[in-house]
Structure 1
Amino acid sequence: MKCSRLVSYFERLEITSKRLELFSILADLFKEVTVSEIDKVIYLLQGELLPPFHGINIGMAEKYLLRAIAKSGDIDANDLLKKYRQIGDIGKTAERFCRGAASLALTVSEVYDAIYQIAVMGGEGSVDQKIDLLSSLFSQLSPVEAKYVARFVAGKLRLGVGDATLLEALALSKGERAFRASLDRAYHLTSDLGRLAKIFYQSGKDGIAAISVRLGFPIRPALCERLSSPDEIIEKIGPCVAEIKYDGFRCQAHKRGNDVMLFSRNQERTTPMFPEIVEAIQTIFAGQEVILEGEALAVNLITEELFSFQVTMQRKRKHNINEMAKNFPLKFFVFDLLYLNGIDYTHFSYTDRRKKLAELIPKNQVITLAESVVTEDTYSLSRLFNETVERGLEGLVAKRPDAPYTAGARNFNWIKLKRSYKRELTDSLDLCIVGYYTGYGHRTKFGIGTILTAVYDKEEGCFKTVSKIGTGFSEQELIDLSARLSKIISHDKPREVDSEIVPDVWVMPKYLVTVTADEITRSQNHTAGRDATGAGYALRFPRVVGFIREDKGPYDATDVSEVISLFNMQKQVKME
């Protein structure tokens, strides 16, 4: 496929926000794409060269990208910078000033391979080499092709196409929506949509059905539903296993040979950050291959006190790792076994997975089994929950003993029950920042006073506003937030954001903050869960209780359906 043809589809995608039109456009595109290119087309649509767990990211700073555009267009770099500030869009800047030649008609593979070569280039002088290569690529592209390549390289492609939309379109491209369930399952087990699409094109539904757990490919985590009381949990699933809910970060560990790979909940490699976990797994599972899942927390090894989530998250850094490991050593509380020596354990019942884990994991200073208790009735579950809260822990996760591990799915196989306080929601929400207000009074010096936040609507593939929040930030966090958001400013409302509220500054959906509130109300101002009456959902007295969620991406934001579920747990319905 010619790059110009793919770009024509990008243009069609960019001007529509209608879900059915997105499906139709993508399905038409996928019918044209060959087996040899489908994986690359998928990755380009996702705005990435490869899934995050491969650790390859083009991530070129705009100043270098502008130098490449200036070189291609034979324009002074300072003059181009002024023009860019006027235009406000790196893609439109490239479209206007790159002097390419449409007659060269590069293929999708040629363009992808050129960008990949730039991404993996390293060493002394690599920045100048990258600029030269990108400038050379621009000189071979038409203006409209340059627009989308520039956005891709800057990490700002943003076609409003989520993974769920791509999966649906893949199924439709083969004329069978019934394929969707099999595609979902395969994607959740391997987290690589490009590879999945290639297998689908090569081998059809039989190839997809044969996909299973694979070492080195993170499994998308199973997710919890919520209920507000032990009574409701026992009524819903009966006798269950209640596990302690630890307030750390989700960690999935893969061991192949002597190599250990650690992944975050959004499938990013975190192996170098946590050397003590790597070493412990190498020791305990010597000669074995395994995939474990659990929660990692910083711990005081003398008092055995578990540190807060905020302290634990200090371990997620690329520098001073040994010093941080010494000051805040981690304990890995393992709660699931997903693979062992060639056997996919996701099909096994929770009881069988837990039993095997107990056989495998000895008492260890770094790795231990998550605490769990079999509970037969409401009384025993309530007592355990109260004891857990008294210990300062977050709560419980009730698990159905006979349930398999449902990768990537949120259902009542797992139900979380968290401590709550008077006049506060029974659970926090992870909200995506989509804009901000510059503030007034003493906050003007930070450039941010209030943020506009949104939940994610998986059904419609967009972010919908639910709250403006100005409470809960420290001054240092506001400084940090201002620096982060300044790099993702959008001069127009991002296409994947549905909002009737207009902030002072729009930003691309990227960062999540953890938020709680007194309650959820109905609101005519916000778009989350909006019904035929025009009423959506909003948070009353919201406050940030957790700064940027480094372990989550924008599409991990709380879903609209979860907000509605929390609202329904409340006793009263109110209009804002």
Structure 2
Amino acid sequence: MKFKELSQYFQRLEETTSRLEMSNILADMLGKATYEDIDKMVYLTLGEILPPFRGIELGVSEKLMTEALSKSSNTKISEVEKLYKLTGDLGEVAYKLVNWEGRDLTVGQVYDEILDIATTRGTKDKVLRIMSLLKGLSNLEAKYITRIIVGRLRLGVGDATLIEALANLVGGKEHKTDIERAYNLCSDLGLVAKTLIQKGLEGIRSFKVQVGYPIRMALAERVTNAEEIVRRLGRCAVEAKYDGFRLQVHKKDKDVEIYSRNLERMTDMFPDVKSAILQHIKFRELVLEGEAITYNEETGEFYPFQITIQRKRKYGVYEYAKEFPLKLFAFDLLYLEGEDFTSKPFIDRRRKLEEILPKNSLILPSEMFITDSVKEIERFFEDAVARGLEGIMAKRLDAPYTAGSRNFNWIKLKRSYKGSLADTIDVVIVGYFYGKGSRAKLGIGALLTALYDPATDTFKTVSKVGSGFTEEEWIKLKEMLDEIKLPHRHARVDSLLEADVWVEPKYVITVNADEITRSPLHTAGRTTEEPGFALRFPRAVGFIRSDKRAEDANTVEEIENMYKMQKRVSVE
């Protein structure tokens, strides 16, 4: 396919506010893809050059892109900056400045050029490569390439929408489950698409765990008390829930890769974890999961998450590793020496994990015991909270590892706060309001936030959040949100409210609230019989959750369950 044709599809995707139309456009686009192009088309549609876990970034700032646009179009930098200030979109600037026809490049040619830009060292060479690419593009092509290069494509296409489009390629939505499973095992939608084109559904159904391809992490449901755990699981495994980084560690010979909850490559940030794996794990191939938490070497006490999060950095890595060392509490084994453990019962995975972990002070099995006693669970929970941990996890003994899914095979019980919900809620920012009074001068006064609905791959509003941030944080928030603002409501956002400024669903924040109520103003959980859910007196807890993607926010179903639990507790 020519990149010009792909750009025309991008234009149609950008202009629609209908998710159904978006799905149809994608199906049409992918239906024309060749085996050589389909993975590249998938990555580019997601605004990527490779999956995030590959750790390859374009490393092109707005300043660098402005310079490339200036030089390639023989326009003064001041004029380019003026256009950018006027439009707020370097893609639109490129569209206005490029006045040549281009060289009719293919998707493969353009993709290879972008990959070269990403791997080029030195700003001067990067600018020259970008200029060379721009000279081969028409204005519409340049618009989308510019956005991809600076990381702001803004098409609004999510993984689930692409999976649905791929399912339609091979007969319909009934094949969506098979494609989702393959994606959950490799986290590479381009690879899944390529396999589908080459080997069909049989190739998709035979997908297996591969070291170096992170498995999308299994997620837990929540309850408010130990009785509910025993009622749902009976005799179960109960573990301490550590307030740190959830990590997935892949080892093959002397190569170790570490991935975050949202599948980012974090190997370089945790040299101490990598070193400990190589030192203590003698198996050739392995995939395990655990929680890394910083601790005080003198007292042995764990630091709060606000300290642990400081280990996520690109610079000063070794200094912080020395000042705030980590312990990795391993809780699951997913792969060992060529054998996929994800389909095995949890208790078998756990026993094997304990068997292969040698005694050491850095990589330890998480605290765990097996019980069906409510009192024992309550006692363990209170002890965990007293030690500064987040709470406990309970796991069904015979459950497989359900990659990428949230269900009651795993249940979390977290410390609660008097006068508020039993747990915090992660929401996605989808827009903001200008504000009144003292906030008017800031240009932002409240956020419109939403929950994720996996069934429809949309974000449904649940609350306006106007408290919990300092003035400095509001200013920073506005800067960040203005970089991803949109001319209209995002196609994947379902809202009855009209935000003053719409933004791409990208940033997740954690909020606390007094309770969940019903409201006709919001769409989360809204049906023909019932109004939507809303949060009463919501307030932000902390700043942007950089460890979570928009799709990692709490789901509508979770909030519905919390609402039911809240009602049950109030009755009791």
Q: Is the 8 A contact 1:521 1:573 kept in 2?
A: no
Q: Is the 8 A contact 1:489 1:507 kept in 2?
A: yes
Shift in Å at residue 213 of structure 1?
A: 0.9
Q: Is the 8 A contact 2:88 2:483 kept in 1?
A: no
What CA distance in whole angstroms lies between the structure 2 residues aligned with 1:454 and 1:70? 39
Letter in 2 for 1:114: E
- 1:17 and 1:443, CA in 2 relative to 1: closer, same or farther beyond 3 A? closer
Shift in Å at residue 248 of structure 1?
A: 0.9
Q: Is the 8 A contact 1:47 1:157 kept in 2?
A: yes
Structure 1 match to 2:204: 208
Q: Is the 8 A contact 1:160 1:462 kept in 2?
A: no
Match of 2:135 among 113, 136, 139: 139
1:16 paired with 2:12, answer no
Write out aligned runs for 1:302-451 (5 A).
302-437=298-433, 448-451=444-447
Letter in 1 for 2:111: Y
SS in structure 2 opposite 1:47?
A: coil
What CA distance in whole angstroms lies between the structure 2 residues aligned with 1:558 and 1:158? 22
- 1:83 and 1:573, CA in 2 relative to 1: closer, same or farther beyond 3 A? farther
1:272 paired with 2:249, answer no
Q: Is the 8 A contact 1:453 1:468 kept in 2?
A: yes
SS in structure 2 opposite 1:28?
A: helix
Shift in Å at residue 50 of structure 1?
A: 0.2
Give the TM-score normalised by structure 2: 0.94
Shift in Å at residue 231 of structure 1?
A: 1.9
Match of 1:238 among 234, 239, 243: 234
Structure 2 match to 1:28: 28
SS in structure 2 opposite 1:571?
A: helix
Range with greater deviation from structure 2 (246-255 or 474-483):
474-483
- 1:547 and 1:83, CA in 2 relative to 1: closer, same or farther beyond 3 A? closer
Structure 2 match to 1:301: 297
Structure 1 match to 2:560: 564
Letter in 2 for 1:177: K
Q: Is the 8 A contact 1:252 1:263 kept in 2?
A: yes
What CA distance in whole angstroms lies between the structure 1 residues aligned with 2:473 and 2:165? 40
Q: Is the 8 A contact 1:334 1:369 kept in 2?
A: yes
Letter in 1 for 2:429: I
1:67 paired with 2:67, answer yes
Q: Is the 8 A contact 2:302 2:388 kept in 1?
A: no
Structure 2 match to 1:260: 256
- 1:305 and 1:40, CA in 2 relative to 1: closer, same or farther beyond 3 A? same
1:76 paired with 2:76, answer yes
What CA distance in whole angstroms lies between the structure 1 residues aligned with 2:471 and 2:317? 26
Q: Is the 8 A contact 1:522 1:573 kept in 2?
A: no
Write out aligned runs for 1:32-71 (5 A).
32-71=32-71
What CA distance in whole angstroms lies between the structure 1 residues aligned with 2:11 and 2:384? 54
Shift in Å at residue 247 of structure 1?
A: 1.1
What CA distance in whole angstroms lies between the structure 1 residues aligned with 2:447 and 2:550? 15
Write out aligned runs for 1:98-137 (5 A).
98-101=98-101, 104-122=103-121, 126-137=122-133
SS in structure 2 opposite 1:336?
A: strand
SS in structure 2 opposite 1:463?
A: strand
Range with greater deviation from structure 2 (434-443 or 291-300):
434-443
Letter in 2 for 1:555: E
Shift in Å at residue 178 of structure 1?
A: 3.0
Match of 2:511 among 511, 515, 525: 515
- 1:295 and 1:54, CA in 2 relative to 1: closer, same or farther beyond 3 A? same
Give the TM-score normalised by structure 1: 0.93
Range with greater deviation from structure 2 (553-562 or 490-499):
490-499
Range with greater deviation from structure 2 (342-351 or 526-535):
526-535
Q: Is the 8 A contact 2:459 2:494 kept in 1?
A: yes
Shift in Å at residue 110 of structure 1?
A: 1.0
Q: Deviations along 1:176-211, whole A, 9 cap, x unmatched?
A: 433222211111111001011111111112211222
1:156 paired with 2:152, answer yes
Structure 1, unaligned stretches of length 5 or more? Answer: none
What CA distance in whole angstroms lies between the structure 1 residues aligned with 2:569 and 2:390? 27
Match of 1:536 among 526, 532, 535: 532
SS in structure 2 opposite 1:347?
A: coil
Q: CA RMSD for the aligned pairs?
A: 2.3
Q: Deviations along 1:370-421, whole A, 9 cap, x unmatched?
A: 1111112333323332333333322111101011111101111111111212
Structure 1 match to 2:286: 290
Q: Is the 8 A contact 1:10 1:159 kept in 2?
A: yes
Shift in Å at residue 293 of structure 1?
A: 0.2
- 1:97 and 1:48, CA in 2 relative to 1: closer, same or farther beyond 3 A? same
What CA distance in whole angstroms lies between the structure 2 residues aligned with 1:323 and 1:165? 42
Letter in 1 for 2:34: T
Range with greater deviation from structure 2 (497-506 or 192-201):
497-506
Shift in Å at residue 162 of structure 1?
A: 0.8
Shift in Å at residue 285 of structure 1?
A: 0.9
Q: Deviations along 1:459-500, whole A, 9 cap, x unmatched?
A: 332323222223333455445545544543445444433334
Q: Deviations along 1:118-162, whole A, 9 cap, x unmatched?
A: 11111xxx3232223222322222222222222222222122211
Range with greater deviation from structure 2 (290-299 or 420-429):
420-429
Q: Deviations along 1:524-570, whole A, 9 cap, x unmatched?
A: 22232332268322111112223222211222121222222212222
Letter in 2 for 1:198: K
Q: Is the 8 A contact 2:19 2:492 kept in 1?
A: no
Q: Is the 8 A contact 1:337 1:353 kept in 2?
A: yes
What CA distance in whole angstroms lies between the structure 1 residues aligned with 2:311 and 2:561? 33
Q: Deviations along 1:252-271, whole A, 9 cap, x unmatched?
A: 11111112111101111111
SS in structure 2 opposite 1:514?
A: strand
Shift in Å at residue 314 of structure 1?
A: 0.7
Shift in Å at residue 29 of structure 1?
A: 1.7
Letter in 2 for 1:431: V
Q: Deviations along 1:347-382, whole A, 9 cap, x unmatched?
A: 111111111111112332211111111112333323
What CA distance in whole angstroms lies between the structure 2 residues aligned with 1:110 and 1:89? 25
- 1:463 and 1:384, CA in 2 relative to 1: closer, same or farther beyond 3 A? same
Q: Is the 8 A contact 1:266 1:553 kept in 2?
A: yes
SS in structure 2 opposite 1:547?
A: strand
Aligned residues: 570
What CA distance in whole angstroms lies between the structure 1 residues aligned with 2:158 and 2:132? 31
Match of 2:551 among 544, 552, 555: 555
Letter in 2 for 1:15: E
SS in structure 2 opposite 1:157?
A: coil
SS in structure 2 opposite 1:392?
A: coil
